[in-house]
């Protein structure tokens, strides 16, 4: 794996905190590496999915059942990209949670 590919993967994972939809979308269309495209697509779908799950959790927090789900999904949303960044720096494979079907 080349350093540019590794750098793009790190950037896509870190986009969680500054451009969660725009950056993975741009990298997906501009990159020629299939591995970077896979990570970009997974990151994009992960952000949409977690946004939906967190919104549903917030809605159900009014009847108290959503609070534990909100905490769990929030932690997954924060920790998964960090694990992805660490694995990208080590040139190891990473797959976002809930998205095993995207190969």
Is the pLDDT at 86 greater than 90? The verdict is: yes
Residue 39 within a domain: yes
Q: Taking a C-beta distance cutoff of 8 angstroms, is the pair 33, 5 a contact?
A: yes
Q: Taking a C-beta distance cutoff of 8 angstroms, is the pair 9, 23 a contact?
A: no
Containing structural domain, residue 67: 3-89
Residue 98 within a domain: no
The pTM of this model reads: 0.80
Residues 21-77: tens digit of each pLDDT: 899 999 999 998 888 999 999 999 999 999 999 999 888 887 878 888 889 999 999
Number of structural domains, the chain? 1
Is the pLDDT at 1 greater than 60? The verdict is: no
Residue 43 within a domain: yes
Distance of CA 97 to CAs 30, 53, 83, 84, Å?
A: 24, 13, 11, 11
Tell me how far apart the alpha carbons of residues 43 and 84 are, in angstroms, rounded to a whole number.
10
Residue 21 within a domain: yes
Q: Taking a C-beta distance cutoff of 8 angstroms, is the pair 35, 5 a contact?
A: yes
**Shortest CA distance to 50 belongs to which of 100, 99, 1?**
99
**Shortest CA distance to 23 belongs to which of 50, 47, 52, 58?**
47
């Amino acid at each position: 794996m080349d350093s540019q590919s590794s750098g793009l993967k790190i950037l896509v994972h870190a986009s969680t905190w500054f451009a969660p939809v725009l950056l993975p979308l741009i990298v997906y269309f501009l990159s020629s590496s299939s591995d970077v495209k896979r990570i970009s697509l997974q990151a994009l779908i992960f952000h949409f999915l977690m946004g939906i799950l967190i919104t549903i959790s917030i809605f159900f927090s009014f009847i108290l059942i959503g609070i534990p789900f909100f905490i769990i999904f929030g932690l997954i949303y924060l920790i998964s990209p960090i694990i992805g960044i660490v694995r990208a720096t080590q040139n190891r494979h990473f797959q976002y949670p809930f998205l095993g079907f995207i190969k």
